[in-house]
Structure 1
Amino acid sequence: MGERWNHNIHYHPRILHAVPYGAERALDIGCGEGMLTRALRDVVPEVTGIDLDTPSLELARGYGDDIEYLHGDFLEYPLEQYDVIASVATLHHVDARTGLLRMCDLLRPGGVMVVVGVARAVLPRDLPYELAGVAANWAHRAVKSYWQHPSPVVWPPPVTFAEMRALTGELLPGATYRRHLLFRYSITWKKPT
C-alpha cells in the first residue's frame, strides 16, 4: 500500500495534516477502493466512505476493517454531519457548485473540508503550470511505482482552474485555494462556528 503512487495519492498527506485535533467523524467522498479512507481511519475514530462505483467499493470492503462504505451519490444520500470531509478527484464528476454546497451542508460547524481536485487548463495562460507538471510527473515516475486506480475517469474536467478558484472564493469565505504542480488544486476550509 505504501508504495502506490499517483497524482491523487501524492496529495493525501495534505488532507491528513488538515484533520483537526479531536475530530470524531470523517467522510471520504468518492472513496474508490478506500486508500485515503483507511488512512483517515488511522487518525479519526469513525470514518465513512461513499462512492457510486460498485467494483471499487467491493475492493474497499475487502479489507475487512471497521469503516462504513456506502454505495450512493453523496449529493442525494441521507448523510449526517462530519468533523472532516475529504474528497479527492471527485468534484469534477458532478456540478462543482452543487457539490461544494452539499459538502458545506454535511460539515459540522468548526469542521474542516479538504478537496483535492482536477480542473481543466486553459492554454496559453496555464502553460507554465502544465510544463512544470509534466516535469514533476516525469521526476516522480522515475523513482516511484505509478498505480492506476480502478475508479471511473472523467476527462476533460468541465471546470477550469480559474473557475474553481472563483467558485471557492464565492462559496467558501476564508478558504485556502492552491494550484499544485501535478495537475491538481486543493481547497481547505474550516466551517465557521
Structure 2
Amino acid sequence: MTWIHGDVKTHPFREAQYDVVASVATLHHLPDLDGAFARLAALTAPGGVVAVVGLARSSRPLDYALDVAGAVQHRRLARRFGLWEHSAPVVWPPPHTYAEVRRSAAHILPGSTWSRLAMWRYAVIWRKPV
C-alpha cells in the first residue's frame, strides 16, 4: 500500500489509478463542490470507491434537530474524555449546506449513498462503474 499526500486539486496524481480515494474533513475547504467531487471521481479506478466524510452547514429543520443531538453528544463525550484541541485550520460555518452536498454528490457521483452522521458530519460513498 502506498500513501500519497498532496493537494488534490493541483498534485499531478494519475487519473483512474486509485482503488480508494478518501476525503476526511476536506471538502468544506474547497469552494467548488462539484469540481471537488469530479476530481475525486476522476482519480478513482473503475470499480474503485470514493469515500467522503465531511462537515456541512444546517439549513433545514431536521438538520437543526440533529445539531441539537450532536451538541448533547459532544458535551457528554467532552465530560467523559476531555476536550481535544487540534491544530487544523477551522472553517466554520462550512460554506456548503447538507442539502447542497447531497445534491452535488447525487449529480456528480450518480448512485452514491449519503448518510448524515453524528456531530455535524456526513458520509458519501460511491463505487465507480467498471
The TM-score normalised by the length of structure 2 is 0.89
Structure 1: distance between partners of 2:25 and 2:97: 14
Q: Do the aligned partners of residues 123 and 176 (structure 1) sit closer, same or farther apart at CA in structure 2, a change above 3 Å counting?
A: closer
For residues 113 and 135 of structure 1, the distance between their equivalents in structure 2, rounded to whole angstroms, comes to 30
1:48 matched to 2:21? no
Whether 2:47 is the aligned partner of 1:91: answer no
> 1:74-115, CA deviations, whole angstroms, 9 ceiling, x for partnerless residues?
112101221111111100111211111000011111111110
Equivalence map 1:28-177=2 (5 Å): 45-50=1-6, 73-80=7-14, 81-94=17-30, 95-122=32-59, 124-177=61-114
More relative contact order in 1 or in 2 (CA 8 Å, sep 6+)?
Answer: 2
Alignment correspondent of 1:6: none
Separation (CA, whole Å) in 2 of partners of 1:173 and 1:123: 23
Distance 2:5 2:83 in 1: 23
- Structure 2 residue aligned with 1:61: none
Give the partner amino acid of 1:76.
T
Instruction: Report the TM-score when normalising by structure 1.
Output: 0.62
- Alpha carbons of 1:174 and 1:123: their partners in 2 closer, same or farther (altered >3 Å)? closer
Which consecutive residues of structure 2, in runs of 5 or more, have no partner in the other structure? none
| Cα drift, residue 124 of structure 1 | 4.0
Percent identical residues:
42
For residues 25-69 of structure 1, give each alpha carbon's deviation from its aligned partner in whole angstroms, at most 9, with x where no partner exists: xxxxxxxxxxxxxxxxxxxx211122xxxxxxxxxxxxxxxxxxx
Q: How much has 1:123 moved relative to structure 2?
A: 5.3
Divergent runs of 4+, >6 A = none
The equivalent of 1:190 in structure 2 is 127
Distance 1:132 1:163 in 2: 21
In structure 2, the CA distance between the partners of 1:107 and 1:138, relative to structure 1 (3 Å rule), is: same
Deviation string, structure 1 residues 120-177 (Cα, Å, up to 9, x no partner): 0125452211111111111222222433221212122111001111111111111111
Within 2, Cα distance between the matches of 1:87 and 1:113?
8
Q: Distance in 2 between matches of 1:116 and 1:147?
A: 19
Cα distance in 1 for residues equivalent to 2:111 and 2:85: 34
CA RMSD of aligned residues (A): 1.5
